[in-house]
Structure 1
Amino acid sequence: MVQRQFPRPTEILDLMKFKKPELNGKKRRLDGALTIYDLQRIAKRRTPKAAFDYTDGSAEGELSLSRARQAFEDIEFHPSILRDVSMVDTRAQIFGGESAMPFGIAPTGFTRLMQTEGEIAGAGAAAAAGIPFTLSTLGTTSIEDVKATNPNGRNWFQLYVMRQREISYGLVERAAAAGFDTLMFTVDTPVAGARLRDARNGFSIPPQLSLGTIANAIPRPWWWWDFLTTQKLEFASLSSTGGTVGELLDSAMDPSISFEDLDVIRSMWPGKLVVKGVQNLEDSKKLVDLGVDGIILSNHGGRQLDRAPIPFHLLPEVAREVGHHTEIAIDTGIMNGADIVASIAMGAKFTLVGRAYLYGLMAGGREGVDRMIAILSDQIVRTMKLLEVKTLDELTPAHVTQLQRLIPRGK
């Protein structure tokens, strides 16, 4: 028989410890976010629908994005055993320099529309974490202000070649003068993809009010207060605005962009030149033959061509064929540090996160971006320790099996 007794009050107090309440609402929200999906949910609550959907959405049926995320979930890890992993080294060498973690912040356009701190929050958080920050051609903070925010860290610049070539050339010259060390020549945007959420929301630059947007704004007054009381939204590369994002992109981008433009930009740029938006092996080989410093396997986060190749599925073949001749980075679909570890194991030297960064930004400004970096970093370290590898160089394809869900039919 179990003997029972009435508990003494002192014994109850020993068993029950009350948590000290956190009075800072932002810190409480961010401390409670344990995953990037948690940050996504907070961002959705705190951001007007049109701005959130611009970040969260992709092109047409959004199949490219959902497939990319699913590909990372459809893996199986193969850990080793009985190896000392009390300390692991997450440092990565990429494009002529070092990063404290094997990921950096991807280029994102119209960033201050998501949250008013915008690229300043991203660059500051990247500087504190020792990882690269990438400024977009369609960024809402100047090249010079990003450099001032991250004076000693690694700043990269993403370039669209625009109809008015002198605009693109001027940005290249300014980025070089500011000491940015890597240029991302983006090749997957001859025209804008059909981003249907933006069309349905009437999302425009600058935001236009309707009964729907006003109703959606009522429970989010802080966003409008920030937007209306901070510095005017300006773009380094757009001389005029007014219209949907797709209309702005179509008016600015040039579908006649060619390898000749790559040659011109290469002659202007003194640092590392990498090509972003590569989606097949043949183009990867051609770019290696042309001597670029790196390639980024990317379908633009699913925001351009829907049903595009899944970068993570393309990675093993490209890494086998050209990985010894150039450095390969990858983006699209990364929502967990384990996705990053799997990418490194399958042959990538580096990864870029875009939506994860913006979810953190919308969830809590600079502190939210810091939290995003901390979440991914903790997941990377934990996954490496559970796989029992000490360094990124120890990761190999033997650590990962890509499980098959989408299998091409025979012709």
Structure 2
Amino acid sequence: MVKRQVPRPVDLLEYLRFKPPTFDRRARRLADALTVADLRSIAKRRTPRAAFDYTDGSAEAEISITRARQAFADVEFHPRVLRDVSHVDTSATVLGGRSELPFGIAPTGFTRLMQTEGETAGAGAAGAAGIPFTLSTLGTTSIEDVKAANPTGRNWFQLYVMRQREISYALVERAAQAGFETLFFTVDTPVAGARLRDKRNGFSIPPQLTLGTVVDAIPRPWWWYDFLTTPKLEFASLSATGGTVGDLLDMAMDPSISFEDLEIIRGLWPGKIAIKGVQSVADARAFADAGVDAIVLSNHGGRQLDRAPIPFHLLPDVVREVGNDVEVMIDTGIMNGADVVASIALGARFTLVGRAYLYGLMAGGRAGVDRMIAILSEEIVRTMKLLGAHSLEELTPEHVTQLERLVPRARA
């Protein structure tokens, strides 16, 4: 029998440890976020449904994004033990420059609609963390203002080739003049995907005040206050707005885009060029033969073709085919630093995060993006230490097994 006794008050004091109170509500909620999923939960509470669903949703039945995330979950790691991992180096060399972490911020459209600090917050946070920031053609902050927010950091520009080619050409020239170092030529958007959440929500640019949006705004007055008291949304490439997101994308996209357009853009662009939206080994080979600097395996975050190939599953085959000729990057479905580590181990030179960035932005503006970067950084460092890897160069395919869930049937 255990002998029991009445605790003395002085003994109880050992167990009483109170954190100093935090009166900054934003800082408190961000400190409580331990994962990107936590940031997503905060974002969902604080953002009107239409704006949140634009970020969170994808095309049609949203099968592509579900499969992409599942592919990262279906990873088995193989650690090496008895390695001194008191310090690990997370820095990467990509497109001729250094990044302190093996991920950068992906291009996202309509970003100030999610939270009014928008791309300024993303670029500033990226610069502070020493990672690249990518501005979208459909961004809501100008090329020049992004450069001002990240004056000494690495800025990349994502380009849509639009029906009015002169608009695209002018954007290329502005980005070059502003000192952006890499152009992401996007190839997976001949037309807009069917974003059904946006259609059901009646999502438009700018947001329309309807009975539904008013009711949805009641528990989120801060969002509407920010939206209505800050400068009007403006788009880098569109002189007129109105209609659904799909309508705007259809205005911007052109199904006649071809390799000829790539050659014209290469003639205008003085820096490095990456092809974003590659979804097959054959296309990866074709772009490598065309002499581009990098390719990004991406299905546009599942927002274009539903049931598209899973970029993470394509990665090993593409690296074997073209890894010695071009730098291979990857996006879509990355929600954890372990996803980044698995991608690097299977041969990716670099990774990009889009939704994770926007969840942080919606959760807390610039501070939320800083928190997102810190969360992924902590997860990357912890995963590398547990794997016994001192640097990204020590990560190899032997560290990762992609468990099979979707196995193709044999063709007749």
SS at match of 2:306: coil
What is the alpha-carbon distance in structure 2 between the residues aligned to residue 59 and residue 209 of structure 1? 25
1:21 Cα deviation (Å)?
Answer: 2.1
What is the alpha-carbon distance in structure 2 between the residues aligned to residue 252 and residue 317 of structure 1? 32
* Corresponding letter in the other structure for 1:160: Y
What is the alpha-carbon distance in structure 2 between the residues aligned to residue 299 and residue 339 of structure 1? 16
What is the alpha-carbon distance in structure 1 between the residues aligned to residue 10 and residue 69 of structure 2? 51
1:31-62 C-alpha deviation (Å, 9 max, x unpaired): 00000000000000000000000000000000
1:16 Cα deviation (Å)?
Answer: 1.9
SS at match of 1:329: strand
What is the alpha-carbon distance in structure 1 between the residues aligned to residue 71 and residue 2 of structure 2? 52
> Counterpart of 1:222?
222
In the alignment, structure 1 residue 279 sits paired with structure 2 residue 279: yes
* Corresponding letter in the other structure for 1:84: D
SS at match of 1:31: helix
SS at match of 2:275: strand
Return 5+ residue gaps in structure 1 as ranges. Answer: none
> Counterpart of 1:205?
205
Q: Compute the TM-score of the two structures, normalised by the length of structure 1.
A: 0.99
1:210-251 C-alpha deviation (Å, 9 max, x unpaired): 111110000000000000001111011000001000011112
1:8 Cα deviation (Å)?
Answer: 1.2
What is the alpha-carbon distance in structure 2 between the residues aligned to residue 5 and residue 396 of structure 1? 57
1:63 Cα deviation (Å)?
Answer: 0.2
SS at match of 2:104: strand
Which contiguous aligned blocks of 4+ residues in structure 1 show a shift greater than 4 angstroms?
none
In the alignment, structure 1 residue 108 sits paired with structure 2 residue 86: no
What is the alpha-carbon distance in structure 2 between the residues aligned to residue 342 and residue 18 of structure 1? 39
Contact 2:95 2:294 in 1 (8 A): yes
1:353-381 C-alpha deviation (Å, 9 max, x unpaired): 00000000000000000000000000000
Once the two structures are superposed, the pairs formed by residues 385-400 of structure 1 within 5 Å of their partners are 385-400=385-400
1:22 Cα deviation (Å)?
Answer: 1.6
SS at match of 1:119: helix
* Corresponding letter in the other structure for 1:80: R
Return 5+ residue gaps in structure 2 as ranges. Answer: none
Once the two structures are superposed, the pairs formed by residues 230-309 of structure 1 within 5 Å of their partners are 230-309=230-309
1:254-313 C-alpha deviation (Å, 9 max, x unpaired): 110000000000011111100000000001001111100000000000000000000000
> Counterpart of 1:355?
355
In the alignment, structure 1 residue 90 sits paired with structure 2 residue 90: yes
1:3 Cα deviation (Å)?
Answer: 2.2
What is the alpha-carbon distance in structure 1 between the residues aligned to residue 143 and residue 15 of structure 2? 56
> Counterpart of 2:170?
170
* Corresponding letter in the other structure for 2:135: L
* Corresponding letter in the other structure for 1:267: G
What is the alpha-carbon distance in structure 2 between the residues aligned to residue 288 and residue 195 of structure 1? 31
What is the alpha-carbon distance in structure 1 between the residues aligned to residue 44 and residue 21 of structure 2? 25
> Counterpart of 2:319?
319
> Counterpart of 2:131?
131
1:337 Cα deviation (Å)?
Answer: 0.1
What is the alpha-carbon distance in structure 2 between the residues aligned to residue 6 and residue 211 of structure 1? 62
1:19 Cα deviation (Å)?
Answer: 2.1
SS at match of 1:332: coil
> Counterpart of 1:183?
183
Contact 2:160 2:252 in 1 (8 A): no
How many percent of aligned residue pairs carry the same amino acid? 76
In the alignment, structure 1 residue 408 sits paired with structure 2 residue 408: yes
1:333-360 C-alpha deviation (Å, 9 max, x unpaired): 0000000000000110000000000000
> Counterpart of 1:6?
6
What is the alpha-carbon distance in structure 2 between the residues aligned to residue 3 and residue 340 of structure 1? 52
SS at match of 1:156: strand
What is the alpha-carbon distance in structure 1 between the residues aligned to residue 2 and residue 43 of structure 2? 51
In the alignment, structure 1 residue 48 sits paired with structure 2 residue 48: yes
Contact 2:92 2:101 in 1 (8 A): yes
* Corresponding letter in the other structure for 1:249: L
What is the alpha-carbon distance in structure 1 between the residues aligned to residue 195 and residue 4 of structure 2? 66
> Counterpart of 2:63?
63
> Counterpart of 2:153?
153
* Corresponding letter in the other structure for 2:10: T
* Corresponding letter in the other structure for 1:26: R
1:64 Cα deviation (Å)?
Answer: 0.2
* Corresponding letter in the other structure for 1:179: G
1:4 Cα deviation (Å)?
Answer: 2.1
1:113-160 C-alpha deviation (Å, 9 max, x unpaired): 000000000000000000000000000000000001101000000000
1:20 Cα deviation (Å)?
Answer: 2.0
Of residues 54-63 and 320-329 in structure 1, the stretch that sits farther from structure 2 once superposed is 320-329
1:23 Cα deviation (Å)?
Answer: 1.4
* Corresponding letter in the other structure for 2:215: A
- Please give the root-mean-square deviation of Cα atoms over the aligned residues, in Å: 0.6
